[in-house]
Amino acid sequence: MRGDAKSMTVLSPRSAAEAVKAYAKSPAALPFAGGTDVMVGWNMGQLNGRAVLDLSRVAEWKKITVVSDGVDLGSLVTHAQIQAHPVLKKRFPLLTAACATVGAAQIQNRGTIGGNIANASPAGDTFPALAVYEATVRAVGPKGRRGVPLVEIFAGVKKTTLKPGELIEAIFLPFPDKTPTRGAFRKVGTRAAQAISKTVFAGLLWNGKGGVLEEARLAFGSMAPTVRRLHAVERFLRGRRLNDVSITAAAELLTNDVSPIDDIRSTREYRLRVSRNILMAFLKGELK
């Protein structure tokens, strides 16, 4: 390990208000939540001499709160907490399924939903589920609070649209107006567990009268610099019956919404082929 703890300054606020004040005074500090990605950099010596804003004592951000119109997830809620929560398991099963694929049990018990979002990896396992549930990220800073739709919080690889001095305090999941007819989550990696995704998918469908599709929400991760809702596919499917013709045509629209690349984990061609197969299987009702 090349990390030198003695060279680092650690700020440890005990409340949300203290955290905002401390960050305003030390804007170069690195916010630290679960630390599952930060510790990789620390081991490589990348944090030597840095100030770290340790948020682990901010109790207000560790709560899951169920309200009349949805569920509020504190930014320091862990993936393990999300998996175990009865309301989340019932009302947001794609998110609990996604959390179960994040690393091993140790990572799920340590990693936080807010830290995952702030890290802004294109391969974030929870992001497609959060996107189709139309989650809102609530940021807090010296100028107050604001809500940002999940898909708008990402500015690129490892970049967010958070303003200077802002921290993520919560993620709000609104209850859908109607129970989805069908939903599915699927992650494809090199291994069945503890793998970074080559592609990761979440989808929800609502059927209308006469077998016509009323609404579709579809999202892929690891297929672009940020998580992407498949807006072109969703628009095409709305008001149509799902059959071989419409499903094949929808799959061909995939590249209107995503732009995968060749990298160390996979190739563009592989990602597109597998993702089309996943999308078609979901629309056919074959993806559980």
- CATH 3.30.465.10 domain extents, the chain: 59-174
In 3D space, the residue among 275, 3, 237, 22 whose CA is nearest the CA of residue 141 turns out to be 22
Of 155, 151, 170, 158, the residue nearest 119 (C-alpha): 158
Select 5-54's CATH number: 3.30.43, 1.10.20, 3.30.1450, 3.10.450.
Answer: 3.30.43
CATH 3.50.50.60 fits 59-174, yes or no: no
Which homologous superfamily does the CATH classification assign to the domain defined by 182-283?
Answer: CO dehydrogenase flavoprotein, C-terminal domain (3.30.390.50)
Q: Which of 238, 239, 219 is nearest to 229 (CA)?
A: 219
C-alpha 88/C-alpha 71 separation (Å) is 8
Pairing of strands 167-174, 64-67: unpaired
Q: State the span(s) of the chain assigned CATH 3.30.390.50.
A: 182-283
Report the distance separating Cα 45 and Cα 236, nearest Å: 49
Residue 13 is predicted with a pLDDT of 96
pLDDT of residue 250: 97
Contact 71, 173 (CB under 8 A): yes
| End-to-end CA, the chain | 42
pLDDT of residue 218: 98
CATH 3.30.43 spans which residues of the chain? 5-54
| pLDDT, tens digit only, all 288 positions of the chain | 577 878 888 899 999 999 999 999 999 999 999 887 777 777 787 778 889 999 999 999 999 999 999 999 999 999 999 999 999 999 999 999 999 999 888 889 999 999 999 999 988 999 999 999 999 999 999 999 999 999 999 999 999 999 999 999 999 999 999 999 999 999 997 665 666 788 999 999 999 888 899 999 999 998 989 999 999 999 999 999 999 999 999 999 999 999 887 776 778 889 999 999 999 999 999 987
